[in-house]
Amino acid sequence: MTTKEILHGAEDKLKKALESVTREFSEIRTGRASPGMVEGLHVDYYGTPTLMKQLASITVPDPHMIMIQPWDISAITEIEKAIAKSSLGIQPCNDGKVVRLSIPQLSKERRQELAKVVHKMAEEGRVSLRTVRRDAKEALEKSEKDKLISEDDKFRAAEELQKAVDKYIAKIDELLKSKEKEVLES
């Protein structure tokens, strides 16, 4: 493989790792209602696990309420089951047409626990970035050993790789700061 192919593959994996961390952060409950809290939940829809956002309109009428209006009313009980099984810790209530989730205020202790969870998620994201870097470096080493690239090319590519990893780590750190602030202040 050429250095360009290796770096391009690594960049794709770095983006996916960042997207994963972003998605995980959006699912953390902060005491403020957000559609992201339920969009990613899987609902058993006629035997097929389907994302909540594909089954219903999700709105936030006020900061402490999420409204889920399914396009197929028969899915309401399955939506309620999915919410009850999730780690949200919120009891859904429905009026036959709409499922409502009342988001309670978080205690100080719970906020601090969530801040620790957010830190752990960020660290897991950084670890996955480092894993991508390690794999790409191994691919560079193999390409050099197979005489596909020169030693200079390998070192240049390794520097580019390190810059990309540093950039993505900085993005995760930014996400962490804003999510931590959101968790502790909301």
The backbone torsions φ and ψ at residue 100, rounded to the nearest 5 degrees and listed phi first, read -115, 140
**Residues 76-116 pLDDT 10s:** 999 998 888 887 778 889 888 999 998 887 788 888 888 88
Domain of 158, in residue numbers: 3-26+107-185
> What value does the mean pLDDT take over residues 106-134?
90
Residue 27's nearest CA partner among 18, 14, 38 is 38
CATH number at residue 139: 1.10.132.20
Total tally of structural domains belonging to the chain? 2
> What value does the mean pLDDT take over residues 25-36?
77
Q: Tell me what pLDDT residue 34 has.
A: 81
More confident residue, 185 or 13: 13
Tokens standing for residue 106 = 């978080």
Say whether both 14 and 49 belong to one domain: no
For the cut 70, the answer to whether the pLDDT of residue 161 exceeds it is yes
| Cβ–Cβ under 8 Å, residues 18 and 171 | yes
Q: Tell me what pLDDT residue 29 has.
A: 67
Q: Is residue 89 part of a domain?
A: yes
Say whether both 67 and 126 belong to one domain: no
Collapsing DSSP states into helix, strand and coil, what is residue 101? Answer: strand
More confident residue, 28 or 138: 138
Say whether both 76 and 19 belong to one domain: no
Whole-prediction pTM value? Answer: 0.69
Q: Which residues contact 9 (CB under 8 A, 6 or more apart)?
A: 136, 139
> What value does the mean pLDDT take over residues 158-167?
95
Q: Is residue 31 part of a domain?
A: no
